[in-house]
């Protein structure tokens, strides 16, 4: 890969990362690799929902320190105390009825991708790799970063990651804000919750000279599993461009479902008039899923002119 690093110092671009230049080639490569991926239990359906039928679910997991097998014991009298596992528990309220009744409303239940991503980031936060550059996110940079999440859904990612940031704003459409706010408040309340409709942002961007005040208040934009509806691709790219116009970095994570929708998204993003540099994070950068490689991809992008 060419020598490239994400601006702002938040990301350590890992080995195996790839500068994306052509949408068709990128998606073809991803889906060719996908054919060799096997998920636990023979599940080939991807990460998907955790439980789309329950009105409330209890989520519990442990963050485990890296294995010390084979590591040399420290010399001298003092003995380094081995790190212990950290338990994380939260209650998540869902709205299964909205999933069934509102077409395209997939954010009313918890997605495994958000949960897994939070677990990976939290594990690296609590048990940093020996070499700081081996962590995906720079802890110091993240602690001073202003983060804005698009399509926050149930608010689980916001609930778990907000304490690691200077500020964290979870956004979604108005009809889903009650659910986001309820879960954020029930699980620490560290994140701010605001309405942000991509279609409204796209209309505003079409007006010459429009500049969102949010662009000056954001360092990192996160969009996890937000790409499923082809009609929302252009508004999403418009929203990323508006929010990143003054230097913010976008982190887009998506499960590999429809290749057509992803190709359309990536082609729209690459050809957006803002002018982007887009990097696909290397394999394993976001961790494994129950010991297997998950069916997802992470792209990090920034408006090139904003950093010249």
pLDDT tens track for 246-282? 999 999 999 888 899 999 999 999 999 999 999 999 9
For the chain, percent of residues with pLDDT exceeding 90: 64
Pick the residue with more confidence: 163 or 15? 163
Q: How far apart are CA 219 and CA 14, in angstroms?
A: 20
Do the Cβ atoms of 9 and 141 come closer than 8 Å? yes
Of the pLDDT bands very low, low, confident and very high (cuts 50, 70, 90), residue 217 is: very high
Quick one: pLDDT at residue 82?
59
Quick one: pLDDT at residue 70?
38
Highest mean pLDDT among 13-17, 108-112, 248-252: 248-252
Statement: residue 76 has pLDDT above 50: no
Quick one: pLDDT at residue 308?
78
Statement: residue 66 has pLDDT above 80: no
Statement: residue 1 has pLDDT above 50: no
Average pLDDT in the 54-59 region? 94
Pick the residue with more confidence: 48 or 158? 158
Q: How far apart are CA 73 and CA 71, in angstroms?
A: 6
Residue 133: how many other CB atoms lie within 10 Å: 9
- Ramachandran region of residue 301, left (φ > 0), alpha (ψ -120 to 50) or beta? beta
Which among 190, 197, 157, 154 is positioned nearest to 174, based on CA atoms? 197
Mean of all residue pLDDT scores within the chain:
87
Quick one: pLDDT at residue 106?
66
Do the Cβ atoms of 39 and 292 come closer than 8 Å? yes
CA distances from 253 to 13, 27, 86, 220, 281 (A): 15, 14, 25, 13, 10
Statement: residue 103 has pLDDT above 70: no
DSSP β-ladder status, 249-255 and 220-224: parallel
Q: How far apart are CA 121 and CA 146, in angstroms?
A: 16
Which among 123, 130, 136 is positioned nearest to 279, based on CA atoms? 136
Average pLDDT in the 93-122 region? 81
Statement: residue 290 has pLDDT above 90: no
Pick the residue with more confidence: 10 or 104? 10
Domains of the chain: 7-64+85-307 (3.40.50.150)
């Amino acid at each position: 890969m060419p020598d490239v690093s994400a601006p702002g110092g938040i990301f350590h671009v890992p080995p195996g990362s790839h500068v994306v230049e052509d949408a068709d080639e990128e998606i073809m490569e991803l889906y060719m690799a996908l054919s060799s991926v096997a998920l636990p239990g023979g599940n080939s359906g991807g990460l998907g929902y955790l439980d789309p039928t329950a009105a409330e679910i209890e989520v519990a997991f442990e963050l485990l320190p890296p294995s010390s097998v084979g590591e040399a014991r420290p010399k001298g009298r003092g003995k380094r105390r081995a790190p212990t596992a950290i338990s994380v528990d939260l209650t998540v309220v869902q709205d299964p009825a909205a999933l069934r009744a509102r077409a395209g409303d997939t954010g009313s239940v918890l997605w495994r991708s958000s949960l897994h991503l939070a677990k990976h980031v939290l594990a690296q936060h609590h048990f940093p790799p020996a070499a700081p550059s081996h962590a995906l996110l720079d802890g110091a940079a993240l602690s001073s970063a202003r983060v804005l999440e698009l399509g926050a859904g149930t608010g689980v990612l916001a609930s778990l990651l907000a304490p690691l940031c200077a500020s964290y704003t979870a956004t979604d459409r108005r009809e889903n804000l009650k659910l986001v706010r309820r879960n954020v408040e029930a699980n620490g309340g560290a994140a701010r919750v605001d309405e942000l409709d991509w279609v409204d942002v796209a209309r505003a961007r079409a007006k010459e000279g429009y500049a969102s005040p949010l662009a000056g208040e954001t360092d990192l934009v996160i969009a996890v599993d937000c790409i499923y509806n082809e009609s929302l691709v252009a508004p999403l790219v418009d929203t990323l461009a508006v929010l990143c116009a003054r230097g913010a970095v976008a982190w887009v994570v998506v499960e590999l479902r429809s290749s057509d929708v992803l190709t359309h998204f990536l082609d729209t993003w690459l050809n957006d008039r803002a002018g982007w540099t887009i990097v696909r994070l290397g394999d394993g950068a976001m961790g494994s899923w129950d010991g297997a490689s998950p069916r997802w991809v992470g792209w990090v992008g920034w408006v090139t002119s904003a950093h010249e």
